[in-house]
Amino acid sequence: MSEIERAGEAHGGSTALAKPEGGVPERFENPGLPPHKHRLGDVDPKAAKRAERQVATLLLLSILGSIGIVVSIIGIKYDGSFDAISLSTKAIGLSMFLSLFALGVGAVHWAKTLMPDDERIDYRHRQRGTTAEREEAVAILKEGAAEAGLGRRPLIRNTLVGALALFPLPAVFFFRDTGPLPGDDLSTTMWEGGMYLVKDPEGGRIRAADVQLGSVVHVMPEPIEEAENVLNEKAEAAVLIMRLDEEQLTEKSAEWGVDGIVAYSKICTHMGCPVALYEQQTHHLLCPCHQSTFDVTQDCKVIFGPARRPLPQLPIRVDDEGYLVARDGFQEAVGPSFWERG
């Protein structure tokens, strides 16, 4: 009784198996591979030459596409209109499609028509072969490189080198086209020494005598409305001033303040939300977005929430007429951290 018959009987089935005439053989014959069909390029030199020209043409189209991306970025200027944006987007997209599509199709066409088409069987063996096997593998690689035909087909070789060389070039222009380099914009604000503190949004200079104990005032630098990009400058230069008992302040915050009046950046160091909630009894500033909490009596140190840096302090003084004036700009970057400030 065969293994199949015993398995059927064990599961309550019939022991009789349907067999073709002559029974089930112990081993099946290896059917082998079907006869190899040679490609036209393998037997016709003219067809091989034609395929070579087709591959070279596709690679040349890829080169033109890469150049077209650069030309589209440089040649089409943004003037704020929808038409210019639409034209630039379409030109870059079509050029990128041509560059990628032609390069891919050219590589596939080259592999299917000109690269070696031999069918081979490799049986599984140990991971590390013998020295003879390793030498044979190196010889096969060298043979494959030779059969690829780059040495015999300089037209494909040269156009391939050109296509691959130009293909990454548009990336340089893409990165450059994202905008001007930030320079020190991330580390500085509009605040400078001598700028008056004015109320936000109503305007008007602030006398130190008018800031009451426990009060909080939202302020901006006086020339803020003259800035080229008012909204951007406001997003960085927003400040809160508060008045506390001088005994509640640290030595540094008292030195940078005036008679208990201290000025701190209003921009949360976590995600840049406005820290606009002041709890008078605890002297805590709260960010409403993610609940980061800063203690004004400890140089606006973070005491709760995801923020990792204290709010920067703005040094202030009083002029001869009693108005609050910035003694200097911020001594550190305001707002969220960035790559140069973790």
Task: Give me the DSSP letters along 230-261.
Answer: HHHHHHHH-EEEEE--GGGS-HHHHHHSBTTE
Token reading at 64? 């033109």
SS3 (DSSP) at 157:
helix
Distance CA 307, CA 290 (A): 9
Is 63 in contact with 165 (CB distance < 8 Å)? Answer: no
SS3 (DSSP) at 187:
coil
E runs forming strands in the chain: 197-199, 216-221, 239-243, 261-265, 277-279, 284-286, 293-295, 301-304, 316-318, 324-326
What pLDDT tens digit does each residue of the chain (342 aa) get? 444 444 445 444 444 444 455 566 777 777 777 888 888 888 888 998 999 999 999 999 999 999 999 999 888 887 767 888 889 899 999 999 999 999 999 999 998 988 888 777 766 656 677 788 888 888 888 887 777 776 777 888 888 888 888 888 888 877 776 767 767 777 888 999 999 999 988 889 999 999 999 889 999 999 888 888 888 888 899 999 999 999 999 999 999 999 999 999 999 999 999 998 999 899 999 999 999 999 999 999 999 999 999 999 999 999 999 999 999 999 998 999 876 664
The CA-based angle 209-211-215, given to 5 degrees, is 155
The CA-based angle 58-63-65, given to 5 degrees, is 95
Residue with tokens 């020494």: 193
Distance CA 197, CA 220 (A): 6
The reported pLDDT for the residue numbered 125 is: 57
DSSP β-bridge partners for residue 243: 261
- Dmax over Cα atoms in the chain, in whole Å? 118
Q: Nearest Cα to 220, choosing from 212, 53, 232, 11?
A: 232
Q: Nearest Cα to 278, choosing from 209, 212, 210, 215?
A: 215
